[in-house]
């Protein structure tokens, strides 16, 4: 089974995402901010990261920049999942290396679609 790392400072969002992702036959791990996510990625690279934008300690964009210089066995697919829905934010995320972008609120069909586009399911 493929693994998805859910990175969000909201416990509720992590819980909702986990519920959906597990129903799509993914194993799920969680991180509360970018720093936590980076540590987990270096320990065991997930197949895909569902990444919030605004978080304490290390934001999603800072995580993305740090990930590019991190020592990883394989680079995970990155799906931003955020309330930052402006086209400027979307373009910035793509230019920074995000593979996909989910605008909150999201549902099962949206996540399934994006995971399919990046080739995880």
Residues that bind another protein (CB under 8 A): 85-87, 90-91, 94, 98, 100-103, 106-107, 109-110, 113-114, 116-117
Shortest separation between residue 116's beta carbon and another protein, angstroms: 6
Computed over its alpha carbons, how large is the radius of gyration of the chain? 13
Please identify, using beta-carbon distances, which residue of 26 and 32 lies nearer to another protein.
26
Backbone phi, then psi, for 32, in 5-degree steps?
Answer: -95, -15
Are 80 and 99 spatial neighbours (Cβ–Cβ below 8 Å)? no
Minimum distance, C-beta of residue 117 to another protein, in the bound complex (Å): 5
Count the neighbouring beta carbons within 10 Å of the beta carbon of residue 25: 9
Q: How far is the CB of 54 from another protein (least distance, A)?
A: 18
Q: Is 29 helix (H, G, I), strand (E, B) or coil?
A: strand
By C-beta, is 40 or 110 nearer to another protein? Answer: 110
CB 67 within 8 A of CB 59: no
Q: From the CB of 107, what's the least distance to another protein, in Å?
A: 7
74 vs 105, which CB is nearer to another protein? 105
Q: Closest Cα to residue 120, out of 55, 19, 14, 26?
A: 26
Q: Which is nearer to another protein, 72 or 90 (CB)?
A: 90
């Amino acid at each position: 089974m493929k693994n998805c790392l859910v990175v969000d400072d909201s416990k509720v969002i992590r819980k909702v995402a986990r519920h959906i992702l597990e129903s799509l036959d993914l194993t799920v791990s969680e991180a509360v901010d970018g720093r936590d996510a980076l540590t987990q990625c270096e320990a065991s690279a997930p197949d895909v990261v569902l990444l919030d934008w605004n978080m304490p300690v290390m934001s999603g964009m800072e995580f993305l920049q740090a990930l590019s210089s991190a020592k990883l066995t394989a680079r995970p697919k990155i799906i931003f999942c955020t309330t930052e829905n402006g086209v400027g934010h979307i373009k910035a995320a793509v230019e920074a290396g995000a593979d996909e972008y989910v605008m909150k609120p999201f549902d099962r069909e949206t996540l399934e679609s994006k995971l399919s586009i990046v080739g995880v399911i």
